[in-house]
């Protein structure tokens, strides 16, 4: 067994609501061949499953150690960066990176904490809400006439790029900023939402468009921990519900 934690050990592969257990097994195999081991499964339709085991071949250990989560947010707890795989050019505010561009950046982030690669379900992909949880978009430069990679094949390509980047040392030198973790950033969004509803600026019946724009904005700028504290301080200070019942020290 390995004694030291390598950058690849800090990469989570998150399969969001996978439909076919065979793809889960094949993804585990793809990961292990490239030295990745941390599989997270969000609400898989069937797991564990004999077909998953068969397709995993010699990577049964990756399946056995997989973490099953109820939601994508749960799978991202403790990560500092989440990258979403997307096969469609949607109305993305973030320009998608190629796997080759993304891999060294993801590895560099492992110096700060765990990173996640998030793969959507086989046919439906990731919803806009799920994309909003991610700060990086990755698109495999596929044939525009047929861009539909199998789920495990996409995992293979990304894992391969990560391994290759780690082998050739293509990790950019970057002063490790004191970036906020995803939970802290989610805390900011939750705080924004609460305060904006309280102020009447956000209609709680249809919060999506506004929250989406906010998330995009902060995904582009990347928040430091101190900035999170500042934002939350501002939000607390502006919260109408906090003002109404006057506290002792106000």
Task: List 121's β-bridge partners, or say none.
Answer: 125
What is the Cα–Cα distance from 52 to 25, expressed in whole angstroms?
Answer: 4
User: At its nearest, how many Å lie between its own copies and the CB of residue 35?
Assistant: 4
**Contacts with its own copies, 34-73, as mask; x by CB under 8 A:** xx---------------------xxx--------------
Stretch that binds its own copies, among 33-41, 63-71, 76-84, 202-210 (CB under 8 A): 33-41
The answer to whether residues 25 and 53 touch, using CB atoms and an 8 Å cutoff, is yes
Q: CA torsion sign, 204 to 210 to 216 to 218?
A: negative
Please, which residue, 93 or 150, has the CB nearer to its own copies? 150
Which residue's CB is nearer to its own copies, number 134 or number 152?
Answer: 152
Q: Kindly report the backbone phi and psi dihedral angles of residue 116, in degrees, each rounded to the nearest multiple of 5, phi listed first.
A: -125, 140
Phi and psi at 156, nearest 5°, equal -60, -45
* Nearer Cβ to its own copies (87/93): 87
Q: Please say which residue, 23 or 135, places its beta carbon nearer to its own copies.
A: 23
| Partner residues linked to 13 by β-bridges | 39, 117
Residues 111-170 that bind its own copies (CB under 8 A): 140-143, 146-150, 152-153, 156-157, 160, 163-164, 167
Where does the chain have alpha helices with state H?
A: 21-33, 50-56, 60-64, 72-76, 99-109, 128-132, 151-167, 182-199, 208-221, 225-238, 240-243
Tell me whether residue 42 or residue 62 sits nearer to its own copies (CB atom): 62
Between the alpha carbon of residue 221 and those of residues 14, 20, 59, 83, 151, the distances in Å are 24, 36, 38, 15, 30
d(CA 164, CA 35) in angstroms, rounded, equals: 11
Number of chain positions touching its own copies (CB under 8 A): 29
Q: Least distance to its own copies from the beta carbon of 195, Å?
A: 45
Binding of residue 107 to its own copies (CB under 8 A)? no
5 binds its own copies, rule: CB under 8 A: no
Among 26, 82, 117, 131, binds its own copies (CB under 8 A): 26
The site for its own copies (CB under 8 A) is made up of 26, 29-30, 32-35, 57-59, 98, 100, 140-143, 146-150, 152-153, 156-157, 160, 163-164, 167
């Amino acid at each position: 067994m390995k004694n030291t934690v390598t950058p690849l050990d800090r990469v989570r592969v998150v399969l969001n609501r996978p439909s076919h257990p065979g793809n889960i097994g094949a993804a585990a195999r793809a990961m292990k061949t490239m030295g990745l081991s941390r599989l997270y499964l969000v609400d898989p339709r069937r797991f564990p499953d004999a077909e998953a085991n068969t397709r995993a071949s010699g990577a049964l250990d990756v399946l056995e150690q997989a973490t099953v989560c109820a939601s994508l947010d749960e799978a991202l707890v403790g990560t500092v960066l989440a990258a979403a795989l997307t096969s469609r050019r949607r109305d993305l505010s973030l320009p998608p990176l190629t796997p080759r561009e993304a891999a060294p950046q993801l590895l560099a982030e492992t110096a700060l904490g765990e990173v996640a690669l998030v793969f959507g379900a086989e046919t439906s992909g990731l919803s806009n809400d799920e994309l909003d949880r991610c700060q990086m978009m990755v698109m495999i430069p596929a044939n525009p006439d047929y861009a539909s990679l199998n789920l495990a094949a996409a995992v293979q390509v990304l894992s391969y790029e990560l391994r290759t980047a780690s082998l050739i040392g293509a990790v950019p030198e970057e002063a490790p900023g004191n970036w906020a973790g995803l939970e802290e950033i989610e805390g900011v969004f939750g705080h924004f939402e609460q305060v904006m509803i309280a102020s009447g600026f956000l209609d709680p019946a249809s919060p999506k468009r506004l929250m989406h724009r906010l998330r995009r904005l902060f995904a582009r700028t990347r928040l430091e921990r101190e900035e999170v504290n500042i934002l939350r301080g501002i939000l607390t200070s502006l919260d109408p519900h906090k003002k109404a019942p006057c506290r002792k020290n106000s």
